[in-house]
Chains A and B, each alone.
Chain A
């Protein structure tokens, strides 16, 4: 059982586009970013299994088995 972590923009540097991690019951998004060496202030948007919200709130979300995260640094455009 594993989860996919999709990384974008400069979060890909040295990590790649997608990182697969072993799933452990109860693991949160915070556990995932700790593992990847990403800190909360670096994150502008965080999606856990298709759900987005304030980064602080999303970091406490539990990841589903076979689930995914999408993590973005500050990006914008128009």
Chain B
């Protein structure tokens, strides 16, 4: 068996039984690995109607066939479970080194089931797998937990949750190596519900490669393409993802004050250029990554340096809250990482709370005269993040995410979310394809299920008219399918700025000894997309939830270069369903499912 390690580790926290099972190679090839195979393994074992916090729910940590190989960025892993935030399938992806180390320990996936009676962590060192007590770690911040576990297992990589996951915040994320996050959809809370604090992993094995010389040659070629590409060899390494602040803002789709407008005249204060000039210490790359978009930064509060903020994090704690202060952004990023909170959802929930305050739903009285949650109030950010992560006072309500918060006041329309997951940093009114992708994303509001920003704003691989509707459903479908492939291979999505389906097919073929064409890969991506959709339907997530908050459909963008636009989802959605071969109600047809091998 090439590429894969051929073993799945199953750990039952109720019984304490650990078992090792053979990987079904045919199944693995059909669903590739990572997001695809993880979803298939999960769906074969778990009732989609399961309560995400029940012991019957499971959580799958899975790498891809290219994780742990020398391929560029080959080190990622995916966390697959049912999301307590959305009720949809959650596939949350993280970089760093943990995913590659799981492979080196000899496993393609770890399936954790049941629930421990007391807090535990799992230690994996090659064949040695232990469930160990973690009472002393429960309640600790992420860096404290990682440091304590590194002392016990110095060679291992640590994946852990923070207080937010322990306290079942629907925004609880999973952190590895302190500053890398499987951020979205509340996967950390599922770990918390199982009393599982952390997983440490180390190993000494390597995957066998079908054609080592061929893979070496293809890897070299791909690295050259990445190096010579203006984005992956220039913009991203130099400025990080924060370089997007200015370009998104100049197109008038940089959401301000909970998406009440789309242009920030003071965005320069939190731009990638400013971050680079005033705060950057060095790059902070993931495993085998020649791009190195990750940042290591210093600020007044963090003079020893910490992992720096990504674009989405900068936006959500700056523009979305009406505060343009990079020091606050860096501190907010730090506290989200320590508490184990998804930065996008945590910031977006503060933004929704600020709009609810602006409109009189949240009052000073309700806040018990605590710090006012008001746009522009810099003092509120860290104060309320800590209360959110620790579920103290009004923070308990905030910890449920913007949708449940706004719904509590009877006005869910002030939550800028899709399927209860908060939207990222692009106003869909000025980017019609991106809006369609938000509405149809299988994990709810998300930019990395199909990054239409590439063609609609950045001109990659070609510039599309961002307001045009014609052709957009086809673009959305192909971006969604290709992304599902990359997420399943175990590579970083950012490689796709330089590489195409042909390069991915070359890498996988040399690794597995297959002869897949780019079309075969895209078909596998479509299969994965449809599989996720089937899960959501069986979980009771109706296609009626394939929509956008009313603000984007009814309120014209008030200012900036996207002024006057609303999102035309009513036109695009039926065309998208047709493009996917689904019926008019958004249900995959038997014919399509059969063609994809899903029946």
Other-chain residue from B235, B273, B493, B560 in contact with A78 (beta carbon distance below 8 A): B493
Other-chain residue from A17, A45, A72, A74 in contact with B268 (beta carbon distance below 8 A): A17
Counting chain A residues whose Cβ lies within 8 A of the other chain, the interface size class is 20 to 34
Q: Smallest CB–CB gap between B259 and chain A, Å? A: 19
* Contact assessment for A77 and B252 in the assembled complex, using a CB-CB cutoff below 8 Å: no
* Contact assessment for B243 and A77 in the assembled complex, using a CB-CB cutoff below 8 Å: yes
* Contact assessment for A8 and B273 in the assembled complex, using a CB-CB cutoff below 8 Å: yes
Inter-chain CA distance A41–B31, complex, in Å, is 39
Inter-chain CA distance A44–B236, complex, in Å, is 14
Q: A47-B561, A75-B243 are in contact. List 15 more A-B contacts (CB 8 A).
A: A8-B243, A8-B247, A9-B238, A45-B458, A45-B463, A52-B251, A54-B459, A55-B459, A70-B250, A76-B231, A76-B241, A76-B460, A76-B497, A77-B244, A77-B310
Other-chain residue from A51, A70, A74 in contact with B229 (beta carbon distance below 8 A): A74
- A10 part of interface (Cβ distance < 8 Å): yes
* Contact assessment for B463 and A55 in the assembled complex, using a CB-CB cutoff below 8 Å: yes
- A67 part of interface (Cβ distance < 8 Å): no
Interface residues of B in 475-500 (CB under 8 A from A): 493-494, 497
- Give me the interface of A with B, judged by CB distance under 8 Å: 6, 8-10, 12, 17, 44-45, 47, 50-55, 70, 72-78
Q: Smallest CB–CB gap between B313 and chain A, Å? A: 11
* Contact assessment for B293 and A45 in the assembled complex, using a CB-CB cutoff below 8 Å: no
* Contact assessment for B311 and A10 in the assembled complex, using a CB-CB cutoff below 8 Å: no
Q: Given that A52-B561, A74-B229 are known contacts, is A45 also in contact with B457, CB under 8 Å in the complex?
A: yes
Inter-chain CA distance A44–B461, complex, in Å, is 10
* Contact assessment for B234 and A76 in the assembled complex, using a CB-CB cutoff below 8 Å: no
Q: Smallest CB–CB gap between A13 and chain B, Å? A: 10
B residues within 8 A CB of A6? 250
**For residue B497, which residue of chain A has the nearest CB?**
A76
Interface residues of B in 241-286 (CB under 8 A from A): 241-244, 246-247, 250-252, 268, 272-273
Which are the 3 A-B pairs with shortest beta-carbon distances? A74-B230, A77-B241, A75-B235
**For residue B263, which residue of chain A has the nearest CB?**
A50
7 pairs, A vs B, C-beta closer than 8 Å:
A8-B243, A8-B273, A44-B458, A53-B463, A75-B239, A76-B241, A77-B311
Other-chain residue from B272, B465, B494, B561 in contact with A9 (beta carbon distance below 8 A): B272
B residues within 8 A CB of A52? 251, 457, 466, 561
* Contact assessment for A50 and B252 in the assembled complex, using a CB-CB cutoff below 8 Å: yes
- B448 part of interface (Cβ distance < 8 Å): yes
Other-chain residue from A47, A53, A55, A76 in contact with B235 (beta carbon distance below 8 A): A76
Q: Smallest CB–CB gap between A31 and chain B, Å? A: 20
Q: Smallest CB–CB gap between A19 and chain B, Å? A: 15
Other-chain residue from B230, B493, B497 in contact with A73 (beta carbon distance below 8 A): B230
* Contact assessment for B453 and A12 in the assembled complex, using a CB-CB cutoff below 8 Å: no
Other-chain residue from A12, A17, A44, A54 in contact with B230 (beta carbon distance below 8 A): A44
- B451 part of interface (Cβ distance < 8 Å): yes
Interface centre among A10, A17, A74, A78 (most CB of B within 10 A): A78
Inter-chain CA distance A17–B273, complex, in Å, is 10
Interface residues of B in 444-478 (CB under 8 A from A): 447-448, 451, 453-454, 457-460, 462-463, 465-466
- B240 part of interface (Cβ distance < 8 Å): yes
Interface centre among B242, B273, B494 (most CB of A within 10 A): B273
Inter-chain CA distance A17–B269, complex, in Å, is 13
Other-chain residue from A10, A53, A72, A78 in contact with B247 (beta carbon distance below 8 A): A72
* Contact assessment for A75 and B231 in the assembled complex, using a CB-CB cutoff below 8 Å: yes
B residues within 8 A CB of A50? 252, 560-561
A residues within 8 A CB of B252? 50
* Contact assessment for A10 and B234 in the assembled complex, using a CB-CB cutoff below 8 Å: yes
B residues within 8 A CB of A55? 459, 463
B residues within 8 A CB of A75? 231, 235-236, 239, 243-244, 247, 272, 458
A residues within 8 A CB of B243? 8-9, 75-77
B residues within 8 A CB of A54? 459, 462-463
Inter-chain CA distance A30–B454, complex, in Å, is 24
**For residue B246, which residue of chain A has the nearest CB?**
A8
A residues within 8 A CB of B230? 44, 73-74
Other-chain residue from B231, B238, B240 in contact with A10 (beta carbon distance below 8 A): B238
Q: Smallest CB–CB gap between B437 and chain A, Å? A: 12
Inter-chain CA distance A52–B273, complex, in Å, is 22
* Contact assessment for A78 and B465 in the assembled complex, using a CB-CB cutoff below 8 Å: no
Q: Smallest CB–CB gap between A45 and chain B, Å? A: 6
Inter-chain CA distance A45–B230, complex, in Å, is 12
Q: Smallest CB–CB gap between B439 and chain A, Å? A: 18
* Contact assessment for B251 and A77 in the assembled complex, using a CB-CB cutoff below 8 Å: no
Interface centre among B293, B451, B458, B465 (most CB of A within 10 A): B458
Q: Smallest CB–CB gap between B164 and chain A, Å? A: 23
B residues within 8 A CB of A77? 236, 240-244, 272, 293, 310-311, 494
* Contact assessment for B272 and A76 in the assembled complex, using a CB-CB cutoff below 8 Å: no
* Contact assessment for B244 and A76 in the assembled complex, using a CB-CB cutoff below 8 Å: yes
Inter-chain CA distance A26–B471, complex, in Å, is 34
**For residue B268, which residue of chain A has the nearest CB?**
A17
Inter-chain CA distance A27–B310, complex, in Å, is 38
Interface centre among B240, B454, B457 (most CB of A within 10 A): B457
Inter-chain CA distance A47–B248, complex, in Å, is 12
A residues within 8 A CB of B229? 74
A residues within 8 A CB of B250? 6, 47, 70, 72
**For residue A51, which residue of chain B has the nearest CB?**
B561
